[in-house]
Amino acid sequence: MSSPTYRGQRWHLKITAYGLGLISLLTFLLPMQARAVPAFARQTGQNCVACHAGGQFPELTPYGRMFKMTGYTIGERTIPLSVMGLASSSRIANAPAGTAKTATPILATASVFLAGKITENMGAFTQITYDPYAVDNGDGTFSGHSNADNMDIRFANHIVGNKQDWIYGVSLNNNPSLTDPWNSAAAWMQYVPVPSPSSSQFIDGTAPYPGFASGGNIAGLNAYLYWNRTVYAEVGTYRTADRALSFMTAGASPRTQLNGSNNPYWRLALSHEWGPHNLMVGTSGMLAHVYDDPTDTSDPASVGKFRNTGLDAQYQYILDPHTVTAQVAYMKTEQTYSDAMSAGLSNPGLGDTNTVTRAKLGYTYQAKYGGSLSFFNLKGSTNNQSDPATSGITYEAFFIPVQNIRIGAQYTSYNKYLGASTNYDGAGRNASDNNSMFLYVWFTY
Amino acid sequence: MKFSHILLIVATGVFGAGCSSIENSRDLANPKVSATTLAQQVCSLCHGIDGNSTSPKFPNLAAQQPTYFMAQLKAFRVHNRLDPEGVEYMWGLSRSLTDEQIKGLAVYFSAKTPAPVPGATADAVTIAAGKGIFEKGIPEKGVTACSACHGPQAQGNEDSPRLAHQHADYIVKQLTVFQRTEERHEESTMKTVAHELTRKNMEDVAAYLEEFPAQ
């Protein structure tokens, strides 16, 4: 039996332990307040707002774009390690039966970044993401899974003269347009990230966006050039991320299978900066040869073709305390069905064409309080597919209490879903039933 | 020849042509990197290759007084200058610079030619009001003339910065910092000078300095 003295000592020990724990936690947290954020910020010693417009990652400022284009090499080498986490809660206006984790706070995803300067001319931005809800076991439980996320390893050189300014480089990456410095490019023109449980199946991150039909998790080698901070040109080609390149899609299953290495990607953009304003107008495209079934590449007749053509523009006004961003992107996807698939279609020999238009207007005050309004509209032909027409509006409000934490509320409302506003599934479900509220806390260090 | 083969050749060429060279280094912690290289590879991204910045968020550095310039970079380096953008942008960039590099940067930018700020379009009344404050101060409020320290051409001297053709927005923000905070406590003279200025006074004198019409 414990004596009063002994119990007193135990309490004393407990209080001391809690105290030490609290001090350790504060010691860990306090430096974040002063000089937070990932490896890049530690490398330059700068605040998030230097590279991210209004502090809202991932959107880049003109300087942030230069940091990226010069291969993430500005600054001094540090430990190239960062972490990111997302806690969230999603609720669907009229959730389908069996929807998992409705209005339940969850730790949605966690990422580790290996990012930063490697040599004078080489740097990397690589992300590995853990998804605790990757697999729904069907009995109310989930299994977690990690996979390679964004990966961009690049070499760059910057030749600066009084009249001429050239940046050129090459990038090994795993997602078409991930390399792009503007956030109206396909890989960046979307609210991210998206938790896996079905309660998040209609949030903006899952809504149509102007992406490339090949999707991510492939391997590309791109070369780019930026002349006098005016003309940006990039060409690249993609292939299946297998053999030595398999690390770029590690954990992704099934891995997208492209036919051969001749899946070209291109990008051309014109940019101009004046006073606190900057504007970019650009175009991009890709031709991808994709196997119908990523688990079966035995039949050469099972390769479909996707031709993407995109237009996009971005305007920014950045002058304290205001940051305004307007983005618009349009992407056309022309699909030619594989011979194997075409034979069984109702209109053999005919392809299908989809177009996605997205526009977004964002504002941040003092890099602390912000919001955005986004519009999306997907239209498509119906030769051999059911009507994909989906459109809606997303509203977002967020608060950045310290530079590495963002707390947001995002609401996506649908005017049309899979071809109709009402009874789109033939079972009485309306597009507005999918309207979704998404609350999140996004943290990075 | 396959498209990917062409790309591989291009990639090899790029790697070969631009092998790590200290002349194009962006390393802020290597004392061997010259000030000219740092100015071109890093500073110019915001302040312009010739010290004339595009965005008013970043001050023009062309023809800035070298002694003043060095004092500011050193103040950023030891965290004596606490204005928000100094903390957010300049503390980190300056943290490992050597005195020699700072001196070299001062020489680089002081030798550049200031250009008029594009799009400076203040009206004549504002310009006249700003000119009055710059040249004569506001005697009834005890505000001394800016030109007394910054020179009749706003060219500055060892202790006082050049102000001619500086971005108006930057001047207003810095005057506000002097007036309302201790963030630039090493320059206490400016706290006294700015004490009685109204927002309108600041905007007038800033508009005049940005345009700085030929005398």
* Cβ–Cβ gap A121/B2 under 8 Å: no
| B64-85 per-position pLDDT tens digit | 999 999 999 999 999 999 999 9
Residue A409 — very low, low, confident or very high, per pLDDT cuts 50/70/90? very high
Angle of helix B124-136 relative to helix B199-211, nearest 10 degrees, comes to 100
* Cβ–Cβ gap B50/A274 under 8 Å: no
User: Between B22, B44, B46, which is nearest A160 by CB?
Assistant: B44
Q: Is the pLDDT of residue A289 over 80?
A: yes
* Cβ–Cβ gap A261/B3 under 8 Å: yes
**Structure-token match 């000089």, residue found:** A35
Q: Which residues contact A241 (CB under 8 A, 6 or more apart)?
A: A174, A217, A218, A219, A248, A249, A255
Q: Is the pLDDT of residue A197 over 90?
A: yes
Q: What is the ipTM of this complex?
A: 0.92
Q: Is the pLDDT of residue A133 over 90?
A: yes
Q: What is the pLDDT of residue A144?
A: 96
User: Between A157, A235, A260, which is nearest B24 by CB?
Assistant: A157
Query: Any CB–CB contact under 8 A between B87 and chain A?
Result: yes
As a whole number, mean pLDDT of residues B185-192 equals 89
> Coil, strand, or helix at residue A139?
coil
Q: What is the pLDDT of residue A39?
A: 87
Q: What is the pLDDT of residue B16?
A: 57
Q: What is the pLDDT of residue B4?
A: 58
Dihedral sign for Cα B35, B37, B40, B44, please: negative
Task: Tell me which residue of A31, A24, A37 sits closest to A400, measured CA to CA.
Answer: A37
Give the minimum alpha-carbon distance from A146 to chain B in angstroms, rounded to a whole number. 30
Q: Is the pLDDT of residue A10 over 50?
A: no
CATH 2.40.160 matches A36-444: yes
Which structure tokens are listed for A362?
């964002």
Query: Any CB–CB contact under 8 A between B113 and chain A?
Result: no
* Cβ–Cβ gap A120/B28 under 8 Å: no
Residue B21 — very low, low, confident or very high, per pLDDT cuts 50/70/90? confident
Q: Is the pLDDT of residue B20 over 70?
A: no
Q: What is the pLDDT of residue B19?
A: 60
| A29-86 per-position pLDDT tens digit | 333 333 333 689 999 999 999 999 999 889 999 999 999 999 999 999 998 999 999 9
Q: Is the pLDDT of residue A233 over 60?
A: yes
Residue A192 — very low, low, confident or very high, per pLDDT cuts 50/70/90? confident
Q: Find the radius of gyration of the CA atoms of chain A.
A: 24
Distances (CA, A) of A130 to A113, A250, A252: 11, 12, 11
> End-to-end CA distance of chain B, in Å?
65
Q: Which residues contact B50 (CB under 8 A, 6 or more apart)?
A: A162, B62, B112, B113, B115
Cβ-Cβ contacts under 8 Å, B46 against chain A:
63
Instruction: Return the higher-pLDDT residue of A19 and A163.
Output: A163
Query: Chain-wide mean pLDDT for chain A?
Result: 91
Q: What is the pLDDT of residue B28?
A: 96
Which structure tokens are listed for B142?
């005890």
Q: Is the pLDDT of residue A9 over 90?
A: no
Q: Is the pLDDT of residue A169 over 60?
A: yes
Instruction: Decide: B165 and A312 in contact? Cβ < 8 Å.
Output: no
As a whole number, mean pLDDT of residues B169-190 equals 93
Q: What is the pLDDT of residue B8?
A: 66
**Structure-token match 């992704």, residue found:** A252
Between chain A and chain B, the number of residue pairs with CB atoms below 8 A apart is 135
* Cβ–Cβ gap B88/A318 under 8 Å: no
Which structure tokens are listed for B155?
């060219």
Report the range of poorest mean pLDDT among A33-47, A57-71, A383-397, A402-416.
Answer: A33-47
Query: Chain-wide mean pLDDT for chain B?
Result: 92
* Cβ–Cβ gap B96/A76 under 8 Å: yes
Name the pTM for this structure.
0.91
Domain annotation for chain B: domains and CATH numbers: 31-110 (1.10.760.10), 124-211 (1.10.760.10)
Instruction: Return the higher-pLDDT residue of A404 and A234.
Output: A234
Query: Any CB–CB contact under 8 A between B142 and chain A?
Result: no
Q: For chain B, what percent of residues have pLDDT higher than 90? A: 82
Cβ-Cβ contacts under 8 Å, A76 against chain B:
27-30, 96
